[in-house]
A and B are shown apart, each in its own frame.
Chain A
Amino acid sequence: MSIVEKYKKYRKAGYFDKFDYHWGMTIDLDRCTGCEACVVACTAENNLPIVGEENYRLKREIKWLRIERYWDGDYPDAKLNFIPILCQQCDQAPCETPCPVGATYHNQDGLNTQIYNRCIGTRTCAVYCPYEVRYFNWFTYKWDAPLEQQLNPDVSVREKGVMEKCTFCIQRIRDAKDTAKDEDRRRVRDGEVKPACVQSCATEALVFGDLNDPDAKVSKLYKDKRGYKVLEELNTAPSVVYLKKVKAHV
Chain B
Amino acid sequence: MSDINRRDFLKFVGAGGVGAGAGFYLADASKKTVEYLIPQVVPPEDYVPGVASWYNTVCTQCDAACGISVRTKEGRAKKIEGNANHPVNQGGLCARGQAGLNALYNPDRVRTPLLLEGGRYREISWDRALTELGRRISSLRIQNQIDKVSVLSNTQSGHIGELLDRFIQLLGTDHYAQYSVTAPHAIQEANRISFGEPTLPYYDIANADVVVSFGADYLGTWLSPVHYSKAYGKLRQGRDHRGTTVQFESRMSLTGANADEWHAPNPGSEGLLAMAMANVVSRSSAVADAGAWSQSLSAYAPSRVAEQIGIDADKIEAVANAFASGNGLALAGGSALAGTNGVAVQVAVNVLNYLGGAIGREGGVIFNSDGPASKAASFAQLTEFAQQLGDRGTEVLMLLDANPVYDLPQSAGFSAAIENVPFVVSVNSFLDESSAMADLVLPLDTYLEAWSDASPNPGVGFSVSSIAQPVVQRVFDTKSLGDIVLGLSAQIGSELPIELPWTSAEEYLRGVWLDNYLAAEPGGNEKSFETFWRSVLSAGVVGQRPASVGGANVSLNSSATSGMDFGVGDFSGSESERPFVFQPYESVMMGVGRTANSPWLQETPDPLTSIVYGSWVELNPATAKELGIREGDLLEVASDSGTLTAPAFLYPGIRPDVIAMPMGQGHTEYGRYAKDRGVSPTRILSDLTDSRTGALATAATRVSISKTGERHGLIKNDGITRTLGRQILGPHSGGH
Contact = CB atoms under 8 A, between A and B. Distances in A.
In the complex they form, whether A and B have CB atoms below 8 Å apart is answered with: yes
Interface of A: 28-31, 33-37, 39-41, 43-45, 50-51, 53, 56-57, 61, 63, 66-76, 78-83, 144-147, 149-153, 196, 199-205, 226, 228, 230-231, 233, 242-250
Q: Which of B76, B242, B254, B604 has the most CB of A within 10 A?
A: B604
Contact of B652 (A29, A30, A74): A74
A152 B98 CA distance: 14
Contacts of B237: 28, 30-31, 243
Contacts of A37: 92-95, 97-98
4 closest A-B pairs by CB = A202-B92, A203-B233, A244-B730, A202-B229
Contacts of A226: 730
A67 B74 CA distance: 33
A244 B733 contact: yes
Given A37-B98, A70-B722, A146 B730 contact: no
B7 to A, nearest CB: 47
21 contacts: A30-B242, A31-B232, A35-B220, A36-B95, A40-B601, A41-B81, A41-B98, A61-B603, A68-B718, A70-B722, A71-B721, A75-B620, A80-B252, A80-B653, A81-B735, A83-B729, A199-B82, A202-B94, A244-B730, A246-B236, A248-B260
B233 A245 contact: no
Interface in B613-641: 613, 620-622
Contacts of B226: 202
B438 interface: no
Contacts of B210: 250
A129 B694 CA distance: 56
Interface residues of B, number: 90
B239 interface: no
Interface string B234-268: 00111000101010000010110110111110000
A35 B318 CA distance: 29
B552 interface: no
A250 B322 contact: yes
Contacts of B124: none
Contact of A203 (B106, B232, B242, B608): B232
Contacts of B74: 153
Contacts of B599: 50, 147
Q: Which of A200, A226, A246 has the most CB of B within 10 A?
A: A200
A34 B589 CA distance: 12
B700 to A, nearest CB: 23
A53 B677 CA distance: 10
Given A147-B599, A226-B730, A203 B605 contact: no
A138 B703 CA distance: 43
A43 B604 contact: yes
Contacts, number: 229
Given A44-B98, A78-B252, A147-B102, A33 B260 contact: no
A43 B603 CA distance: 10
A29 B729 contact: yes
Contacts of A53: 613, 715
Nearest to A226: B730
Given A37-B93, A75-B656, A83-B729, 13 more contacts: A30-B237, A35-B94, A35-B219, A37-B95, A44-B600, A53-B715, A57-B713, A76-B263, A79-B262, A150-B102, A203-B233, A249-B261, A250-B322
Contact of B81 (A43, A81, A199, A245): A199
Contacts of A72: 734-735
B73 A153 contact: yes
A149 B230 contact: no
Contacts of A244: 729-731, 733
Nearest to B723: A70
A70 B729 contact: yes
Interface in B77-136: 77-82, 89, 91-95, 97-99, 101-102, 104-107
Contacts of A247: 260
B292 interface: no
B721 A70 contact: yes
A73 B672 CA distance: 40
A75 B652 contact: yes
Nearest to B605: A36
Nearest to B310: A76
Contact of B98 (A28, A200, A231): A200
Contacts of A80: 252, 257, 608, 652-653
Contacts of A78: 252, 262, 652-653
B498 interface: no
A83 B653 CA distance: 18
Contacts of B730: 29, 226, 228, 242, 244-245
Contacts of B303: none
